[in-house]
Amino acid sequence: MKKIMLNRIYVILIAVVVLAFVGCTDQGTESQTGVTEPSIEVGVIDCGISRTSATSGLMTLDEMNFEEDAAMVCIGTNVLDNCKKAKAIVESNTGALMSYEVLGLKGKDCILRVEHVGGTPLSKEEKRFEGTYAECPMDIEELRSDYKRDVSEVPGLFAAELHILIGFDSMLNKDTKCTGTLIDVVRTMRAEMKK
């Protein structure tokens, strides 16, 4: 009887610990700035926070060194390593925060997701994008072959350029393969500008 009771207590304790852990990951974590950052699900590599864009001011993409940005290098490395699931937070030079995720392979495409998750302070225009996302299928082998150099030598820059490509494709290509609420907001903004 004691053995059965101890086993039940042991199972209950394990369940409580697992539920507490799951509960914590669903909530996200509060950063030093007071912004709740999205949590990382189990099996997804946490690449950390990219601040290269936030600290580079008016530099061009070529002037920024993304190979010193551990988060971008991590994302790029995981994209190039058969599209392994990974996630980073990208801080812009305005303080806006974006989640940048490698969701995995779907057929031959690597699915990448960018989501505006807030930040401080947000301008009126940035607030329109808060909570919006775009998911885009990227044929990494095709992009790799179009690249001017070996992307495995510059995974941080490759990740940064993919991040920008998602934005441009979502915003400028009316036949985009990307999906998500970011595209709807951009189309609404374009329609408002035409009026």
Shared domain for 24 and 46, answered yes or no, is: no
For β-strands 96-106 and 86-91, DSSP reports them as antiparallel
Confidence of residue 192 (pLDDT cuts 50, 70, 90): confident
Confidence of residue 34 (pLDDT cuts 50, 70, 90): very low
Q: Is 84 exposed, middle or buried (0-12, 13-18, 19+ CB in 10 A)?
A: middle
Residue 130 and residue 122 in contact, taking contact as beta carbons nearer than 8 Å? yes
Residue 122 CA neighbour count, 13 Å, CB half: 16
pLDDT > 70: percent of the chain: 77
Say what the pTM is: 0.74
Shared domain for 117 and 170, answered yes or no, is: yes
Range of the domain at 156: 41-194
For β-strands 45-50 and 86-91, DSSP reports them as parallel
First-to-last alpha carbon distance for the chain, in angstroms, is 78
Shared domain for 51 and 9, answered yes or no, is: no
For residue 158, the model assigns a pLDDT of 92
What does the pLDDT average to over 106-134?
Answer: 88
Tens digits of per-residue pLDDT, 156-173? 999 999 988 887 877 777
Shared domain for 18 and 89, answered yes or no, is: no
User: How many domains in the chain?
Assistant: 2
For residue 129, the model assigns a pLDDT of 86
36 assigned to some structural domain: no
Sheet strand arrangement including 96-106? 45-50, 86-91, 96-106, 109-119, 133-138
Q: Among the listed ranges 18-32, 79-93, 122-136, which one has the minimum average pLDDT value?
A: 18-32
Shared domain for 21 and 112, answered yes or no, is: no
24 assigned to some structural domain: yes
Shared domain for 102 and 165, answered yes or no, is: yes
Q: Is pLDDT larger for residue 172 or for residue 35?
A: 172
Shared domain for 104 and 11, answered yes or no, is: no
Largest CA distance in the chain: 78
For residue 40, the model assigns a pLDDT of 54
35 assigned to some structural domain: no
